[in-house]
Amino acid sequence: MATTIRDVAKKSGYSITTVSRALNGYDDVSEETREKILQVAKELNYYPNRIAQNLVTKRFNTLGMFILERMTFQQPFIFEVVSGVVDEATKEDFDLLLFGTQSLRSGMKPHQMCTQRGVGGAIIMGLRLHDPIIQVMEESGFPTVLIDIPIKGKRATFVASDNQLGSLQAINHLVNLGHRHIGFINGHLEAWVSLERLKGYKKGIEEHSLPWKSEYIFQGDFSKESGKKGARILMTQNPELTAIFVASDLMATGVIEELTLMGYKIPDDISVIGFDDLDFASHIKPTLSTIRQDKYQLGIEAARKIIAMIKNENYLPEQHFLKTTLISRESTGPVRIE
């Protein structure tokens, strides 16, 4: 006769309701109680569903990925990252479960959602600095990898491009073309990558002993419109600028459009370099010089780390930075001669 949940309840000494909730990952069951119930279920070979089987055997072959609602699959960056996660998960015989964010608004935590669905680890992207989810995941002890934002914890880490290196590569490229007055249009400061790219910009300016003032920096928000606004403000206030480094390709397209409307020729009058190397960068006119992030590899590295944590409870994850690459195209050229 097959083992039933009643048998597990009887042998463990807990109610059927408590046993059911323990085997389905609900967090209102204490860990001590859950472990006792899981042990009994294992002894009785009781696996009512995949979630319970995962909890009892501690074998999780599903990854969870959360992409916050302000980010969409229409964004090329997101698509390439997810493609990397999918390919690495498939190679390692893991499934991938994509979560919507509606449940997060209702108070559910990522690790709770994962546990209830038999998911062994979470990859999260789209968080901003100081988002409470970061601390929640740090304290949960649940295997977690964030993309593009730091996290600390025994079972948590993050992967990102080396954004400071990318900024330095952009400044070095412009300096090698003879530019000394270089403006910077950054993304919003709730993004950790913005802080890193700003540090790289300032470091490049200092290393080359270039003239600098705070008015050379415009704080955008990664949108095309903020690129347009930044270009007009920077050039109106600082007509001596001969180059602008922009913290995203999308903003850079706005910069080029606005500068063209203002009568500037790119790159004869002003050079423009972006960051990301999205697909459209090589198709617009002029083609956009930029700093390439390996977005697909970001996804692969995130998946590798979360799978390693799932397979080995003693695995100590380390943060991982991917190198960026300078891509020189038509939007940058030698400094204009007065």
Give, for 245, the enclosing helix (H) or strand (E). Answer: strand 243-246
| Domain 163-293: CATH superfamily, name plus number | Response regulator (3.40.50.2300)
State which amino acid sits at residue 179. H
Q: Hey, do 5-48 and 62-162+295-323 end up sharing a CATH topology, with the first three levels equal?
A: no
Cα 278 to Cα 14, 159, 282, 296, 327: the distances in Å are: 56, 19, 8, 12, 11
State the burial class of residue 45 (Cβ atoms within 10 Å of its Cβ: 0-12, 13-18, 19+). Answer: exposed
Instruction: List pLDDT tens digits, range 71-118.
Output: 555 567 888 899 999 999 999 999 999 887 665 666 778 988 888 788
pLDDT score recorded for residue 118: 82
Query: What is the pLDDT, as a whole number, of residue 31?
Result: 80
Rounded to whole angstroms, how far apart are CA atoms 20 and 223?
Answer: 48
User: Which homologous superfamily is 62-162+295-323 in?
Assistant: Response regulator (3.40.50.2300)
Long-range contacts, 132-140 (Cβ 8 Å, 24+): 133/104, 133/109, 136/109, 136/110, 136/111, 137/109, 137/110, 137/111, 140/109, 140/111
Q: 5-48 belongs to which homologous superfamily? A: lambda repressor-like DNA-binding domains (1.10.260.40)
Comparing C-alpha atoms, which of 226, 172, 229 is closest to residue 194? 226
pLDDT of residue 27: 66
Residue 268 exposed, middle or buried by CB count within 10 Å (0-12, 13-18, 19+)? exposed
**CA gap 34, 29 in Å, rounded:** 6
How many other CB atoms are there within 10 angstroms of residue 306's CB atom? 28
- Segments in the chain below pLDDT 50: 56-57
Tokens standing for residue 90? 């498939």
Pick the closest to residue 37 from 54, 55, 51 (CA basis).
Answer: 55
User: In the block, which residue shows the tokens 């546990």?
Assistant: 115
pLDDT digits (tens, 9 = 90+) for 209-248: 998 899 999 999 999 999 999 999 999 999 999 999 999 9
Residue spans per domain, the chain? 5-48, 62-162+295-323, 163-293
pLDDT score recorded for residue 57: 47
Q: Is 278 helix (H, G, I), strand (E, B) or coil?
A: coil
Q: For residues 155 and 194, is the Cβ–Cβ distance under 8 A? A: no
What are the two backbone dihedrals, phi and then psi, of residue 163, each rounded to the nearest 5 degrees?
Answer: -70, -35
* Kind of pairing between the strands at 182-186 and 62-67: unpaired
131: its two tokens: 């988002």
What global pTM score does this model have?
A: 0.81
* Per-residue confidence (pLDDT) for residue 112, from 0 to 100: 84
CA 229 to chain CA centroid, nearest Å: 26
